[in-house]
């Protein structure tokens, strides 16, 4: 007689008894002999019917029953033998691969419920894989586990499956999968980046990633993957030498702001990371490349495209490895004409970047005669232009341009999602969050970090997920990606993106954009406030009884008394703190009061705009406004004293 141990192993097709998962097979291994002793008659009588491995509650179903024969005292030990072993990174990786294959091959034959079950299991596995590579709140990633998982991914072609099957995943699983693919590009196995070797042999995956820009749902995910892959020099060389690089010029011009900006980021990475490869490419392909670059990017009708292009041009030409290319570029009168036109732009950022390139034309020791003649003919105009030309890379105006770009990009997502069915989650009793909130915050933060990587960032959705980030004196972007989420869910068009920049904990730049009503409010410290480019001012009303009051009365906010409401003309509850502040700034309403709102992201942008429009922002007690206090009141200066009196009576 022998004791047996249950061992679990993978099997792609077999299902064995109800205690096993659909992909496990029971293997019985003989461990050690048991002493031979008489078997009770009852046990012997049932042995032939139940077998050695049965374990019925009656206690008389076989030799491994908890109350049978010589094994009665070993029940606890036997239960331990039958416990499932923890899954290794390799196990999870293989199961992930199996489900991807199964879901892909059975996409048309599976029932909806069965497919949902498989995709839910796949999403869970992908989260586990991400946790292995990135760690979690309780532990850091283990290098040995990461190495095992990396080897499994590339050995079994799981990376290919994850990329190809990405469109079949839900949004959260796509995000996790994107992070996994990105992380694997940096994982070393035996001091070697095996991802580089794999991609060199599977270049068709790079074609898939680049073509992904044509798919609005996949573009941003594939874009992140592609930029990480370009970190490998062999990959960058393949992309530059393939027809794919020409496609990027077209993707940068797409009408979808977020996708075009992402394609521009990939384009920049491709042309700046690997110096020797880029220099060789530009030398061999100078004519067609700069022909496309000038006509499609530098002379684009899109302001943002021009700004990104002229900055990239400066980065390329000022790099020493591109000295030969730079000399050739600054010897062209057509190129000089384009740069001089860019110097005349109203945008300070474009002017500054164009100036850096223009200096190369002037500094060229071997100027062609036609270049000299153009510079001489325009000497007086250039001197007048440069007389008031100040270069301040950290100017508030530049910060404003960055924030406006980010807000408009996010606005396209909100506008598109406004008329679609929403997937809604609850953050509390009444507070809602949608996939649009999360997508917008990711987009805005990525854009701001690209432009100002040394700055700090605070956002509503990241705070909800990871806790409060302390506000410091450092330049800090404070973002509400979708203020008025409840309005958004109900199709009420009072929604906006709110972006504020604080320096020394004081709001200095504010942008509030309602993409549904196409209203862009902006304000910069000392520069005034604007609505769609036109100056705005607060109301000049001096009587409470003739004033409109905006507030929010809900479960989490203090409410005004009925008597207090009778002191003003009427009450408005619109559902957006940021837009209420902008209503003060443009004179639509005279008074605003709210306590208990979400956090500084609700007021950081609007507070600047109110102040620059001639209004004042203060604590309902009449004291100075504290952006972290979740208490705010706003009005014109004429109404403050009377309004504070009403608020104090109410509180």
Binding-site residue ranges: 460, 480, 482-483, 602
Structural tokens at position 530: 């604007």
| Phi, psi dihedrals of residue 129, rounded to the nearest 5° | -65, -40
Task: Name the binding residues for Mg(2+).
Answer: 460, 480, 482-483, 602
| Phi, psi dihedrals of residue 609, rounded to the nearest 5° | -65, -40
Q: Are 131 and 154 in contact (CB under 8 A)?
A: no
Q: What is the largest CA-CA distance in the chain?
A: 116
Query: How many other C-beta atoms are found inside a 10 Å radius of the C-beta of residue 310?
Result: 26
Dist CA 81 CA 436 (whole Å): 48
Dist CA 7 CA 81 (whole Å): 9
Q: What CA dihedral angle connects 620, 623, 627 and 632, to 10 degrees? A: 10
Dist CA 268 CA 271 (whole Å): 5
Query: Of 98, 88, 78, which Cα lies nearest the Cα of 145?
Result: 88
477 contacts: CB under 8 Å, gap ≥ 6: 403, 445, 448, 452, 455, 456, 457, 458, 499, 500, 501
Q: In DSSP terms, which residues pair with 3 in a beta bridge?
A: 32
Query: How many other C-beta atoms are found inside a 10 Å radius of the C-beta of residue 262?
Result: 27
Sequence-ordered strand ranges (E) for 460-505: 476-483, 496-503
Q: Encode burial over 56-87: b for 16+ CB neighbours within 10 A, e otherwise.
A: eeeebbbbbbbebbebeeeeeebeeeeeeeee
Q: Are 513 and 480 in contact (CB under 8 A)?
A: no
DSSP3 helix / strand / coil % (the chain, rounded to 5): 55, 15, 35
**Complete DSSP assignment for 81-123:** HTSPPPPPHHHHHHHHHHHHHHHHHTTTTS-HHHHHHHHHHHH
Dist CA 452 CA 478 (whole Å): 14
| Phi, psi dihedrals of residue 244, rounded to the nearest 5° | -60, -35
Instruction: Give all strands of the β-sheet with 528-531 in edge-to-edge order.
Output: 456-459, 476-483, 496-503, 506-514, 519-524, 528-531, 534-535
Q: Encode burial over 531-569: b for 16+ CB neighbours within 10 A, e otherwise.
A: beeeebebbebeebeebbbbbbebeeebebeeebbebbb
Q: Are 172 and 126 in contact (CB under 8 A)?
A: no
Q: What CA dihedral angle connects 586, 592, 598 and 601, to 10 degrees? A: 30
Query: How many other C-beta atoms are found inside a 10 Å radius of the C-beta of residue 477?
Result: 25
Residue 510 parent element (H or E) = strand 506-514
Query: Of 480, 464, 475, which Cα lies nearest the Cα of 513?
Result: 480
Q: Are 67 and 59 in contact (CB under 8 A)?
A: yes
Alpha helices for 53-88 (secondary structure H) = 75-81
């Amino acid at each position: 007689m022998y004791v047996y141990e249950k061992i679990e192993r993978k099997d792609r097709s077999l299902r064995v008894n109800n205690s096993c998962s659909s992909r496990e097979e029971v293997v019985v291994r003989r461990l050690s002999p048991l002493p031979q002793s008489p078997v009770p008659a009852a046990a012997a009588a049932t042995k032939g019917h139940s077998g050695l491995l049965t374990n019925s509650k009656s206690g008389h179903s076989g030799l491994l029953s908890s109350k049978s024969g010589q094994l009665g005292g070993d029940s606890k030990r036997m239960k331990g033998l039958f416990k499932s072993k923890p899954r290794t990174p390799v196990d999870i990786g293989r199961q992930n691969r199996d489900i991807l294959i199964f879901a892909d091959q059975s996409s048309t034959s599976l029932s909806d419920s069965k497919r949902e079950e498989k995709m839910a299991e796949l999403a869970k596995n992908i989260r586990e894989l991400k946790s292995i590579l990135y760690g979690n709140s309780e532990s850091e990633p283990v290098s040995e586990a990461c190495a095992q998982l990396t080897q499994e991914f590339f050995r079994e072609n799981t990376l290919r499956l994850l990329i190809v099957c990405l469109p079949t995943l839900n949004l959260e699983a796509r995000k996790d999968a994107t992070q996994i693919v990105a992380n694997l590009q940096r994982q070393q196995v035996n001091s070697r980046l095996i991802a580089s070797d794999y991609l060199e042999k599977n270049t068709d995956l790079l074609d898939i990633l680049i073509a992904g820009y044509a798919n609005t749902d996949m573009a941003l995910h594939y874009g992140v993957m592609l930029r990480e892959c370009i970190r490998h020099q062999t990959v960058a060389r393949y992309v530059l030498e393939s027809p794919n690089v020409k496609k990027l010029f077209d993707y940068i011009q797409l009408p979808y702001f977020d996708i075009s900006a992402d394609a521009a980021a990939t384009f920049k990475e491709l042309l700046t990371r690997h110096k020797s490869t880029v220099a060789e490419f530009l030398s061999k392909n100078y004519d067609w490349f700069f022909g496309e670059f000038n006509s499609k990017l530098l002379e684009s009708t899109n302001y943002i495209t021009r700004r990104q292009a002229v900055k990239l041009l400066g980065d390329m030409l000022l790099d020493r490895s591109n000295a030969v290319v730079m000399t050739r570029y600054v010897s062209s009168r057509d190129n000089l004409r384009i740069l001089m036109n860019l110097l005349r732009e109203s945008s300070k950022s474009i002017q500054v970047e164009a100036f850096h390139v223009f200096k190369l034309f002037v500094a060229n020791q071997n100027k062609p005669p036609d270049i000299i003649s153009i510079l001489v003919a325009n000497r007086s105009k250039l001197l007048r232009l440069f007389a008031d030309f100040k270069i301040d890379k950290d100017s508030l105006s530049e910060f404003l341009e960055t924030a406006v770009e980010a807000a408009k990009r996010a606005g396209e997502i909100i506008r598109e999602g406004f008329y679609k069915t929403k997937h809604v989650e609850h953050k509390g009793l009444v507070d809602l969050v949608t996939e649009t909130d999360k997508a917008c915050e990711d987009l805005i933060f990525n854009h701001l970090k690209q432009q100002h990587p040394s700055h700090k960032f605070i956002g509503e959705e990241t705070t909800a997920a990871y806790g409060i980030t302390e506000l410091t004196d450092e330049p800090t972007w404070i973002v509400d990606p979708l203020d008025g989420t409840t309005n958004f869910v109900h199709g009420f068009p009072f929604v906006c993106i709110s972006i504020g920049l604080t320096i020394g904990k004081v709001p200095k730049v504010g942008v509030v954009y309602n993409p549904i009503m196409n209203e862009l409010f902006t304000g910069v410290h000392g520069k005034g406030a604007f609505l769609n480019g036109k100056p705005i001012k607060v109301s000049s009303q001096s009587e409470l009884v003739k004033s409109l009051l905006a507030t929010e009365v809900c479960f989490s906010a203090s409410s005004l008394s009925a008597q207090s409401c009778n002191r003003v003309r009427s009450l408005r509850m619109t559902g957006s703190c940021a837009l209420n502040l902008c209503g003060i700034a443009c004179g639509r309403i005279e008074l605003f009061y709210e306590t208990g709102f979400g956090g500084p992201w609700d007021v950081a942008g609007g507070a600047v705009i109110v102040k620059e429009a001639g209004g004042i922002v203060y604590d309902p007690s009449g004291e100075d406004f504290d952006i972290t206090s979740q208490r705010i009141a706003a009005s014109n200066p004429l109404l403050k004293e009377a309004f504070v009196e009403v608020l104090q009576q109410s509180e």
